[in-house]
Amino acid sequence: MPRSLARAACIDDLRDMARRRIPRFAFDLVDGGAESERNMRRNVEAFEEVELTPRYMVDVSQIDTRVTLFGRDYALPFGMAPIGMLNAFWPGADLTLARLCKRENIPYVASSAASTTLEKLAEAADGNGMFQLYVSGDDAVTEGLIARAEAAGYETMIVTADVPAAGKRDRDIRNQLAVPFRFTPEVIAQCALHPRWALTSLQHGTPNVANYADLLKSATSYADVQKTLITAGFSWDSLEKLRARWKGKLVVKGILHPDDARRCARIGCDGIVVSNHGGRQVAFGPPTAEALPAIAKAVAGEMTVIVDSGIRRGADLLRAKALGADFCLAGRALAFGVGAGGAAGADRAMEILKLELVRALGQLGVPQVGHVGREHLAQQPTDPLGALPSEAVNPPSGA
């Protein structure tokens, strides 16, 4: 491992390294958030603010980080969250992370907006893959992706519900982000200042949204891509149809309210992801660490609760468990590793998170990650929505 990567003490160090190695327009594609990015920052801060109370005189000489998710055993309580167009951040990032997840025996969630086809990612993840679906306004497009996911062997599908309208990302506007990339004088100048990224990108070819390549030949902007990927018409009826169509495990990603979680459970979904899309879509929503406790309480024992958005430390995985999550997804944390040093950087990011997780379990006095729970919280969370009538927040269908 290069000395520079070995000296990276935390994920933030890897982020700084990635920022120096990658042109601004490509770095901002992953690092940026919606509007002022307050929601993105609050995701990280809210986890940091969760205090856990250590208990001592406990034998922590043997630490067990294994968990079970949807009937499968994994080595760690987190997996790779879906990120679209990640090969624009660092060439080959999709396959690098899929293979890493297989080696480490954690789930890899392949984005339908990935730069690599879902079939290649399923092969690289080799049984550890899950597929994330954006529901298109064109039913034939959605059905085509589902059929391909089935044929590729994915057993779990995660449908993203939190993009009824495209988020406004100020950094992308300033960078004039376009799909396919336009080589403007500014872009050329940035590439010249980052020759390793530029040469590696030339070797891998221009990144695109591989699963929609034929449909997006006429696209001239990332907004055009989003129009193909998402629909404002995705509804509870749509979710019920997906539940009937998909025979494997079905998870809904983007849940921020307990009533929505309950309704997913009634429809027969196997799990939810408490998520605000990493702060990339809604600028005004709650951080996931604040939304999680009430949601976990609402569906306790009924379905699997996963959380993403803001995971930067191994201790964050314990905080999430204490707040009620069964599992976590981390996206930017591993992506920063790839950006900092390719495959070696991804390995370093994984090494950092694993080391922090093991040390945090020892410091907390809990030798098994599955035994971390609400009782370890220094302060019990409050439910700010608990006093509101359900119908006041989420009116019945047809109202």
| Residue 92 vs residues 111, 114, 116, 149, 197: alpha-carbon distances, Å | 14, 11, 9, 21, 11
The residue whose two tokens read 């679209």 is 84
Residue 222, pLDDT > 60, answer no
| Residue 133 vs residues 117, 162, 350: alpha-carbon distances, Å | 13, 12, 25
Burial of 301 (0-12, 13-18, 19+ CB in 10 A): exposed
Q: Which residues pair with 377 in a beta bridge?
A: 52
Taking residues 192-211, what's their average pLDDT?
84
Residue 387, pLDDT > 80, answer no
Who has greater pLDDT, 212 or 250? 250
Please tell me the distance from the alpha carbon of residue 328 to that of residue 126, in angstroms, as a whole number. Answer: 20
Average pLDDT over the chain reads 90
Residue 392, pLDDT > 60, answer no
Say which CATH topology domain 3-369 has: TIM Barrel (3.20.20)
pLDDT digits (tens, 9 = 90+) for 151-185: 999 999 999 999 887 888 888 888 877 665 666 78
Please tell me the distance from the alpha carbon of residue 75 to that of residue 351, in angstroms, as a whole number. Answer: 13
* Per-residue pLDDT, 202: 81
Residues with catalytic function? 277
Please tell me the distance from the alpha carbon of residue 166 to that of residue 173, in angstroms, as a whole number. Answer: 13
Residue 190, pLDDT > 90, answer no
Residue 380, pLDDT > 90, answer no
CB 350 within 8 A of CB 100: yes
pLDDT digits (tens, 9 = 90+) for 86-130: 999 999 999 999 999 999 999 999 999 999 999 999 999 999 999
3-state DSSP call for residue 329?
Answer: strand
